[in-house]
Structure 1
Amino acid sequence: MSELLDFLLQNDPSFRKARLPSLYSDFRSQQTLNPDGFVANVSAWKHGLSNAALAGHAPSKSPARNHLTLELDGALLRALENKQFGRPLALGTVLQEALASGEMIPLPQFLRATQSIYQKSWGSLPFAVAGWALKQIGLTGGPGDSMPRDQVVVVIQNLEAIAKAFVDVTADRTAPFERIFSRTHFRRTFEASLLQGQRLSDQDFDVLVKFLSRDKDILAVDGHTIKIRDPAETTTISEEDSAIASLKELMEELTKQTGVLSRRVDDLNVAALDAVRRKNTVSARAALKSKKLAENNLATRHATLGQLEEVAAKIQQAADNVQLVRVMEASTGALRSLNAQVGGADRVDAVLDDLREQMGQVDEVGNVIAEVGVGGWCCGRGGGGYRCEALGEG
């Protein structure tokens, strides 16, 4: 049993034993005779293949498994072959549905598109047109299917999942310095956390960067430099951004080199001690000489790294100052607007004087009412109704 089929049987509830006869049958006729059954089978295959690709279990020619794309060729059919039911007879129809709905997009079209796939719905492709396109590459559905060669589709469901994971991972990267990378540094920083330790293929990386920049508006990309967008800042890549990206990549490379050299110094030290213990003075001197050279190289790397870290700290401080000035400018504008609404001290004095006058009138009315209440009131019938009069003190 292939790795792909084993994954589907073990992890996807839709591929339980009782469902396999239906899934592997030529269920194209169900589209009119049993629409619910047809939709259920198509949905099971689409989600099953998408999940298997995301987990890295779909056949791939790439040394690093593809997670965001699916290769439609004979290897996929062979990987899905079941000893009891053979190959899935309606797989072509499933892929035709996925292409027509925009859930899968041919890789060349996806990479060449300049407009977002959400602005111009790929799902608007008529079913008949999608079927014609698949016939041109040899995939029509049914027992006579022959899978296309070297055809790759982008799986949108998987891109959405990785994009969500990326947003979660980068949520706390608020400082400008933390949001700028070279392409190489960006890939090394995030791919392990996005795929639970698995690597992105070169093809998947290009697809992901295109999706996050063009379709999700999360990244700004300019050749070598990638920047996580901040709505409050410009969306273009500046010369400062490119310089920061190069600096961070160099710091990462030097950090790796210092780690390698530190381990080499330790290994040479152990080798020298071992040679002394064996009274092999020639080997001991050679090990100590190599150790000294490695220590010198290590000291040079540490010195350079220290200088770069100091530069990076100054850049971060300058970036923070820029943000602080922007906040102060915005605050100044807000205060100016609020003070304009207040109208200045003269207006406030006038308002307070008017307020005191009105409060004084309230007090005067209250005093009159209180004085009337001292003599009491006499009410009785007369003049065609009730009449109340204030009683005098006498």
Structure 2
Amino acid sequence: MIVLAVETSCDETAAAVVVRDGEGRGRVLSNVVLSQLEEHRPFGGVVPEIAARSHLDHLDSLVQRALDDAEVGLDSLDGIAATGGPGLIGGVFVGTMTAKAIAAARGLPFLAVNHLEGHALTARLTEGLAFPYLLLLVSGGHCQLVEVAGVGRYRRLGGTVDDAVGEAFDKTAKLLDLGYPGGPAVEQAARAGDPQAIKLPRPMAGKPGCDFSFSGLKTAVRQARQQMAAFDAQAAADLAASFQAAVADVLADRCRHALTQFEADTGQPGPLVVAGGVAANQVLRARLHNLAAERGTRLVAPPLALCTDNAAMIGWAGLERLALGLSDPLDFAPRPRWPLESLTGA
């Protein structure tokens, strides 16, 4: 089965062609992503109206590029997938309407994919991973630990009670004048810093359960910045490194609790899958790799290109659902919020 997919939930316009063979293995035939980074950089964050307009301006040409790169025509497709939410609703509308139009014109199934499920199932595309597994989903808008039992079968073990970890990276970068986007900027600055230079809190660490909190950590970074008599590049690097170390400690602590719960629920120690934009951070990957090894399991992390928003993951999630006989009506309504645990499978 071959699916054309589009992703427009935030500030990347993306299209991809993905194939699933008869044995359930996936392959990406094309994966085109157009970043809107320069359009949003002057504002220090994503402006929803600008994002939606850019998707509208570029999506058609990206769809054609994806088809051309894959050397696939519309007649070869078995379905059309699009991110149906959660996300910035203007952008989600652009993607879903484009996909619906192609599906209607060609008489193909339409697949409204939950963006979070796209991240959740990426490890099955890249690693052929079997169910069940434990997912740590970390991005600019999401931070949660989820048991993945199957397509559309998710149990949330914990999530952030305030801010997502990606948002904490962005706010920290802004406080330290490191630029936008914050995640890569903080990671880059931290390479020259001392992670033990500044004492920062580890919110929720050691507490029962699997929830996260990052609001207090952001406040502590701001206070540390304000208390510095002199603030130069080295001070910024030390504070970035100290912040990154605190995040790594918190994620490792929460994942340790979740792995214990996962083993009690499933009878197996893992594996632990990390997905989402923050999963590209190499320090966090290394810390979670060590945790998984300590617990007698392994860490599975997608290639860096599939950590951030992309259409290949949407196409694969669509294929997984299509293989189960699932599709969506053309009157599907895009959703700004769409909890992963509310999905259903076959």
TM-score category of the 2 structures, normalised to the smaller one? under 0.3
Greater strand share, structure number: 2
**More helix per residue:** 1
Q: Which structure is richer in relative contact order (CA contacts within 8 A, separation 6 or more)?
A: 2
Q: Give TM-score, length-normalised by structure 1.
A: 0.24
Structure number with greater Rg is: 1
Q: TM-score, normalised by structure 2?
A: 0.26
